[in-house]
Structure 1
Amino acid sequence: MSCAVLAAGCITPGGLTLAETAASARARVARLQAIEWLDRRFEPFVVGRVPNDGLPELNPALDAQLRPSRESRMLQLAHAALADVLGELPPQVEPPPLLLALPEHHTAIAIEPARFLQRLALQTGPCFDLGSSIAAPRGRAAGLMAFKQALQRIEAGQSRFVLVGGVDSLVDLHLLGTFDREDRIRGETISDGFSPSEGAAFVLLGDAEMARTYGMPPLATVISAAIGQEPGHLYADEPYLGNGLASAVTGAIESGQLPTQISSVFCSFNGERYWAREFGVARIRNSAAFADDAAMEHPAECFGDLGAAHGVALAALAAHGISRGYRRAPALVYASSDYADRAAAILDRAA
Structure 2
Amino acid sequence: MSARVDADTGVDRGADSAGAPQPLRVIEIGAFTPVGGDARATAAAVRAGLCGFREHAYMVDTAGEPMRVAQVDGIDAALSGPARLAALLAPALVQALAPLGAGGDGPKVGVAVALPPMRPGTAADPAAAVDAVRALCRDRLGRRLGPFQGFASGHAGGYQALAQARAWLRDGQVDAAIVAGVDSYLDPLTLEWLEAEDQLHGAGPLNNAWGFIPGEAAGALLLTRRGGGDAPDGWADVLAVGLGRESKLNKSGEVCIGEGLTQALRRALDEVPEELVIDNVVCDMNGEAYRADEYGFSGLRVRDRLRDPTDFLAPADCWGDVGAAGLPLHLLLAASACRKGHAKGPLTLLWGSSDGGGRGAAVIRADVAVRA
The residue that corresponds to 2:95 in the other structure is 84
Unmatched runs of 5 consecutive residues or more in structure 2: 1-20
Q: How does 1:130-169 map to 2 (within 5 A)?
A: 132-169=147-184
d(CA) in 1 for partners of 2:93, 2:229: 19
Shift of residue 346, structure 1, vs aligned partner: 0.1
The residue that corresponds to 1:194 in the other structure is 212
Q: Do the aligned partners of residues 346 and 192 (structure 1) sit closer, same or farther apart at CA in structure 2, a change above 3 Å counting?
A: same
Contact 1:101 / 1:142 at 8 angstroms: preserved in 2?
Answer: yes
Shift of residue 151, structure 1, vs aligned partner: 1.7
Q: How does 1:1-351 map to 2 (within 5 A)?
A: 1=21, 2-35=23-56, 36-52=58-74, 55=75, 68-90=79-101, 93-107=106-120, 110=123, 112-123=125-136, 125-127=139-141, 132-189=147-204, 190-209=208-227, 212=230, 216-236=232-252, 238-257=254-273, 260-292=276-308, 295-327=311-343, 328-349=345-366
d(CA) in 2 for partners of 1:323, 1:156: 31
Encode CA deviations 1:173-209: one digit per residue, 9 max, x unaligned: 0010011011111112321110001010110111122
TM norm structure 2: 0.84
Shift of residue 68, structure 1, vs aligned partner: 3.6
Encode CA deviations 1:86-138: one digit per residue, 9 max, x unaligned: 11225563341110111014236526454434333444514276561010110
The residue that corresponds to 1:62 in the other structure is none
d(CA) in 2 for partners of 1:113, 1:161: 26
Query: RMSD value over aligned CA atoms?
Result: 2.4
Encode CA deviations 1:275-300: one digit per residue, 9 max, x unaligned: 11111111111111011387411111
Contact 2:30 / 2:220 at 8 angstroms: preserved in 1?
Answer: yes
d(CA) in 1 for partners of 2:135, 2:198: 38
Encode CA deviations 1:291-340: one digit per residue, 9 max, x unaligned: 13874111110010011112221122222323343223200011101120
Q: Do the aligned partners of residues 210 and 50 (structure 1) sit closer, same or farther apart at CA in structure 2, a change above 3 Å counting?
A: farther
SS in 2 for 1:292: coil
Amino acid aligned to 1:250: R
SS in 2 for 1:80: helix
More off after superposition, 190-199 vs 81-90: 81-90
Contact 1:141 / 1:343 at 8 angstroms: preserved in 2?
Answer: yes
Q: What number of residue pairs does the alignment pair up?
A: 338
Shift of residue 261, structure 1, vs aligned partner: 0.8
Contact 2:118 / 2:126 at 8 angstroms: preserved in 1?
Answer: no
d(CA) in 2 for partners of 1:198, 1:28: 18
Amino acid aligned to 2:50: V
Contact 2:158 / 2:328 at 8 angstroms: preserved in 1?
Answer: yes
Shift of residue 31, structure 1, vs aligned partner: 1.1
Contact 2:82 / 2:132 at 8 angstroms: preserved in 1?
Answer: no
The residue that corresponds to 2:3 in the other structure is none
Contact 1:160 / 1:210 at 8 angstroms: preserved in 2?
Answer: no
- The percentage of counterpart residues that share the same residue type is 28
Contact 2:110 / 2:165 at 8 angstroms: preserved in 1?
Answer: no
Contact 1:95 / 1:126 at 8 angstroms: preserved in 2?
Answer: no
Amino acid aligned to 2:83: S
**Greater percentage in helix:** 1
Q: Do the aligned partners of residues 99 and 119 (structure 1) sit closer, same or farther apart at CA in structure 2, a change above 3 Å counting?
A: same
d(CA) in 2 for partners of 1:254, 1:244: 15
Q: Do the aligned partners of residues 339 and 293 (structure 1) sit closer, same or farther apart at CA in structure 2, a change above 3 Å counting?
A: closer
Encode CA deviations 1:8-37: one digit per residue, 9 max, x unaligned: 111110101111111111111111001121
Shift of residue 155, structure 1, vs aligned partner: 1.9
The residue that corresponds to 1:64 in the other structure is none
The residue that corresponds to 1:63 in the other structure is none
d(CA) in 2 for partners of 1:293, 1:342: 18
Contact 2:257 / 2:293 at 8 angstroms: preserved in 1?
Answer: no
More off after superposition, 114-123 vs 298-307: 114-123
SS in 2 for 1:199: strand
More off after superposition, 294-303 vs 10-19: 294-303
Unmatched runs of 5 consecutive residues or more in structure 1: 59-66
